[in-house]
Amino acid sequence: MSAATARVRIERRITREAVRASLPELLGFAIEVAREAGFDEQTAHAVRLAVEEACVNVIDHGYAGAPPGPIELTIADEASQVRIEVADRARPFAPEAIRAPELEAAVEDRPIGGLGWFLIGELMDEVRHAPREGGGNRLTMIRRLERAAPN
Amino acid sequence: MQIQMRTVEQVTVVEIAGSVDSLTAETLTGAMLDALGSDRYRLVADLTQVEYISSAGLRALLATVKDARRRGGDLRLAGVSPPVLRVLEISGFTSILNLFPDVDDAVVSFDGA
């Protein structure tokens, strides 16, 4: 296979109701796919963390005050990068409105919370958000891989 | 995640094994704040067997250290693994929490307090 034909090695998807009770399956799915794809330890860790933070965000905030809808999680190993997509039918999400955490603040001044979105930004190489046709959000998170090129 | 507590001198050592994430952080917060409920306010979290922490876990640590320090004590971390250390560093937690190589060092560090 030539280098030009970048292929998707693995693409897995799971759809669940966006409730806390779905978290064990969603997080377990992230661990399983990382194992199946053979990601190195750091990548597997980053993927698991990004999945957890993004899914918790949808469950706790996206559908807050509304009946929970679906959360669709896709993890794709695209040879040179991992692509994680979290799609929902929740209210529009505005990443730019999220305040950056105060990393230098003294312990008594640090608010409890607000770190999830920040961790995603630090562990992923690219984060894109787009509204979905028909309502909802699609969050795409990319982490580039430094694995040896396949022969 | 599994939690075991033991007391070494005046210090409560909280031995944690597994992942500290959205599924487990609440249990950990409850256990650590309970440990602070009595006259004990010196805690060491033994993280030797923790390979994964998310923002939910960071919240548990922050809530506990705030409470402990309000009482004149502290929460100190021991045996932090590389993946957990990375998350602590990114989040600025290494500048607000005291980290020690192992439990003995963390326990002894309270002697001068």
How far A99 CA sits from the closest chain B CA (Å)? Answer: 14
Kindly give the confidence (pLDDT) of every residue in chain B, 113 residues in length, as a single tens digit, with 9 standing for 90 and above: 999 999 998 899 999 999 999 999 999 999 999 888 767 899 999 999 999 999 999 999 999 999 999 999 999 999 999 999 999 999 999 999 999 999 999 999 998 65
- Which of A97, A92, A101, A12 lies closest to A58, judged by CA? A92
Instruction: Answer yes or no: do B22 and A56 touch at CB < 8 A.
Output: yes
Taking the model in full, what pTM does it have?
Answer: 0.91
* pLDDT tens-digit series, residues A21-73: 999 999 999 999 999 999 999 999 999 999 999 999 999 999 999 999 999 99
* pLDDT tens-digit series, residues A87-142: 999 999 888 778 778 887 887 787 776 799 999 999 999 999 999 999 999 999 99
Contacts of B63 in chain A (CB under 8 A): 112
Instruction: Answer yes or no: do A119 and B91 touch at CB < 8 A.
Output: yes
**CB nearest to A103's CB, from B63, B65, B91:** B91
